[in-house]
Structure 1
Amino acid sequence: MCWDGAVPLRALPRLRTLPVWQQDTVIALGTWLIGLLVYVAGIHQLLGGIDANPLWIRLTELTVLCGLELLRRWVPGGLLLACGVLAADITLGPSLPVLIVFTDFLYAATLYGSRRTSRVMIGIAVAATAAVVVAVAALSAQWRQAVLAALGCLPFLITPVWWAANVRQQRDIADTERANGEQLAKIAELDRQAAVGAERARMARDLHDVVAGHLSAIAIQSEAVLSSSGTNPALARGVLESVRENSVSALEEMRAMIGLLRSAQGDAEMEATAPPRLAELSKLVESARASGLRVEVRSTMDEQGLPAAVDLTAYRIAQEALTNAVKHAPGGRVVLDIRRDGGVLTIEVSNGLRRDRPTAEGTGAGLGLLNMRERAAAVGGTLSAGPSGTDWLVRAELPVEG
């Protein structure tokens, strides 16, 4: 009588929510009451005839066996004790209630035992059924009796073990699916964290480019105007125009970034701001010249044929390199060389090192250099920065195809 199965538990929907010892107590009391009714009705004899044993002996067997139901999850100890009660019952004459309760121990041993125990229980059930059939066939010499014996073993040996094995298989499948679900949830959370980290790094790079590029140029150009003391109005006006242009560009880029942050899908009412490209490199050059640099541009390529990601990356690298030159080598000469050789776009920005602080740029640990390397790596390229003779050289190689 397998009370843990799906059909009986539909009648007792709250049994699963009880503690284990309470579930086993309910099962023990239920089987004892059913067995009591069978004994009182006098239909407990399996071999027919009249039972010569007093009722109290049968009830004692039943009570002991039902008491062992509290140990049904203790495998194989509970099953071995139940086998002892079954042996005593067979000696007195096999009775239906004891045999029915014993089937629950077979069920529990198969379901709650180890995997090895479960496999052994299946083998024992098959072997016991075969042994009963052979024994009956040998004693009765009639094949019909053997068939009846096999059918008699079906509900008491095969069914509880098969049922428990099926429930155990479904439970293992559910546990596996639950574990897989937890692992997928962890992987999804790690992917989410990685995506958030990558997005934060991208936003930090963009913000740094806006702040370090435009605002640094504004600060340096403003200082140049203040130091001129009004001796050259035309120069002062040109520098102020560059300051205004840098301010407007910084505001536009900051406005576009804030708009993207406020709406993940973008606002339909917001004006779309195109990302800067190498075609707008002249603005960077004019801003650097207004800051006091002597910039020489060498470009032998058509910027219109570049992929958008490579075009933006090249622009940002040139912007950051010119900004560093303005900060670390003010008033110096800068050579900006952009060329395309086959499927590789090469950007080189070189400027002379100041003798009073020759290693100002040489540490390579600044955030600007890190951003440039990350941008180059993002499109599959490489970037190097360091002294090259008497100059400081930033060299980026970006693949144009693939």
Structure 2
Amino acid sequence: MRMRTPRPLVVDTLLALATAWAAVRLGQRSVSPGWPELDAGAYALIGLIHLPVALRSRAPLVVFALVQCAGAVYITLGYWPLMSAFGSMLVLYTVASMRPARTAVGCAAVMTVVWIYASAINDRMTLGSAVNQALLYCSMLVWLGTRVRLSSEISQTLRVRQAERTRREVTEERARIARELHDVVAPHMSVISVQAGLARFVVHSDTATAHNALRIIEDTSGEALEELRRVLQILRHDEVGGTECAAPMPTLARLGDLVERIQAGGVPVDLHVEGTVRPLAPGVELCAYRVVQEALTNVLKHTDHALVRVRLHYRQDELSVSVTDDGHGATSGRVPEKRGHGLMGMRERVKLYGGTISAGPHDGGGFAVRLTLPTPAAAAAAARWGDDDTR
């Protein structure tokens, strides 16, 4: 059977009863040191001094005031002052652990005055001893309570920061998953949509074209499922922190396959690579691939057989990519910001790798997407080492 953790009220109530019982037991020996024997009034005052401690966590200042007042009455009637000290010290500690330091110091001063008052009206106590004891116990209780309060505040701040960091990481992870899924599904679905429309249009008049369109749909959907499986495998790998090897994400070496799919959709694409082709950091390669993929997909969706030119230029410390079309058959009012989350996703991905991207109409007509990504030597070297390790 699972045991429940006691609530603070239950704990405080038990503590109040325990201190009251200890005060009563000690008070029954008050005659030995020369103090008056406890009577019914004394027992009532002892209860009034200690039982309110059960509410110390809910109203520490009110309980402190009540305990000090009851203690002052108890001392005035000539009873042993030690019986009133237990509840007073416990509540002073509570005030210091829950209220600002200046409030705790003020309460400590009040308690010190009560102790000095007790020594002033009783010949059995010396003023010097009362002052020393009051300063020692009050300063210790205030210090301990303040340390507990500061530790609690630091813990609360750390919990809040941890919760904020967790929410931020969850949001970033959701955005990453959404971006990857969009990049995987959207381009393939565009090709499938175009080919399905073509197949339906020529199914009775041109059987060969319809069969070819269905073959492209089959190949494209299979590749989409494969990329989707790859993305999910990588995400699952990141989540569990395992060591299993996930299939690599698309790189610039697969641009030829992407171009063939777009051309199969009826859009002629001219791919040209300049400079010395070299391996780049995996994130940079994936970023460039996804930008080209998104740009070609937009051409497929928003133009009618426009001629597209894809240019990759490998420079010493950067990679330049441009995707331009001649605007043939472009949809009127073609504004990239109104197409959905594709352009936004491209910009977020490029920003992550410190690159720049622009997208919009160009002077010769049509639309252009231009990308520049830094490719530091360290990243290229890391990519080469990674390639060597996998061989």
Normalised to the residue count of structure 1, the TM-score between the two structures is: 0.70
Gaps of 5+ in 2: 1-5, 54-61, 96-102, 380-391
Q: Could you list the per-position Cα deviations for residues 155-199 of structure 1 after superposition, in whole angstroms to 9, with x for gaps in the alignment?
A: x54345533432443333233323332332332233222222222
Match of 2:3 in 1: none
> Cα distance, 1:365 vs. partner?
4.3
| Residues 2-401 of structure 1: pairs in structure 2 closer than 5 A | 18=10, 27-28=19-20, 30-39=22-31, 41=32, 43-44=33-34, 59=39, 62=42, 66=46, 69=49, 74-75=63-64, 78-79=67-68, 82-83=71-72, 86=75, 89=78, 98-101=80-83, 103-104=85-86, 107=89, 110-111=92-93, 114-118=103-107, 120=109, 153-154=128-129, 156-159=130-133, 161-228=135-202, 242-260=216-234, 264-265=239-240, 272-353=246-327, 357-389=331-363, 390-401=365-376
> Cα distance, 1:115 vs. partner?
1.9
How far, CA to CA, are the matches of 1:61 and 1:153 in structure 2?
A: 30
How far, CA to CA, are the matches of 2:30 and 2:108 in structure 1?
A: 33
Q: Could you list the per-position Cα deviations for residues 91-144 of structure 1 after superposition, in whole angstroms to 9, with x for gaps in the alignment?
A: xxxxxx52323545763674456323245369769999xx99xxxxxxxxxxxx
Percent identity between matched residues is 24
Gaps of 5+ in 1: 1-13, 46-54, 90-96, 133-148
Alpha-carbon distance change, 108 to 157 in structure 1, aligned in 2, over 3 angstroms? farther
Q: Looking at CA atoms only, which structure, 1 or 2, has the larger radius of gyration?
A: 1
CA contact (8 A) 1:103 1:157 kept: no
Matching residue's letter, 1:37: R
Alpha-carbon distance change, 111 to 348 in structure 1, aligned in 2, over 3 angstroms? same
> Cα distance, 1:323 vs. partner?
1.0
Match of 2:58 in 1: none
Greater CA deviation, 338-347 or 374-383? Answer: 338-347
Q: Could you list the per-position Cα deviations for residues 27-77 of structure 1 after superposition, in whole angstroms to 9, with x for gaps in the alignment?
A: 4565355334332x5x406xxxxxxxxx68x85885576366257875456
> Cα distance, 1:383 vs. partner?
2.3
CA contact (8 A) 1:338 1:345 kept: yes
How far, CA to CA, are the matches of 1:105 and 1:241 in structure 2?
A: 87
Alpha-carbon distance change, 84 to 202 in structure 1, aligned in 2, over 3 angstroms? closer
How far, CA to CA, are the matches of 1:30 and 1:120 in structure 2?
A: 26
How far, CA to CA, are the matches of 1:180 and 1:192 in structure 2?
A: 18
Alpha-carbon distance change, 127 to 280 in structure 1, aligned in 2, over 3 angstroms? same
CA contact (8 A) 2:68 2:111 kept: no
Q: Secondary structure at the match of 1:300?
A: strand
How far, CA to CA, are the matches of 1:24 and 1:219 in structure 2?
A: 76
Q: Secondary structure at the match of 1:37?
A: coil
Normalised to the residue count of structure 2, the TM-score between the two structures is: 0.72
Q: Secondary structure at the match of 2:29?
A: helix
> Cα distance, 1:239 vs. partner?
5.2
> Cα distance, 1:307 vs. partner?
1.3
Q: Secondary structure at the match of 1:177?
A: helix
Matching residue's letter, 1:282: G
How far, CA to CA, are the matches of 1:281 and 1:356 in structure 2?
A: 24
RMSD: 4.2
CA contact (8 A) 2:67 2:88 kept: no
CA contact (8 A) 1:125 1:158 kept: no
Residue-pair matches, total:
351
Alpha-carbon distance change, 250 to 19 in structure 1, aligned in 2, over 3 angstroms? closer
How far, CA to CA, are the matches of 1:245 and 1:21 in structure 2?
A: 73
> Cα distance, 1:338 vs. partner?
1.9
Greater CA deviation, 60-69 or 355-364? Answer: 60-69
How far, CA to CA, are the matches of 2:374 and 2:143 in structure 1?
A: 54
CA contact (8 A) 2:112 2:131 kept: no
> Cα distance, 1:276 vs. partner?
0.9
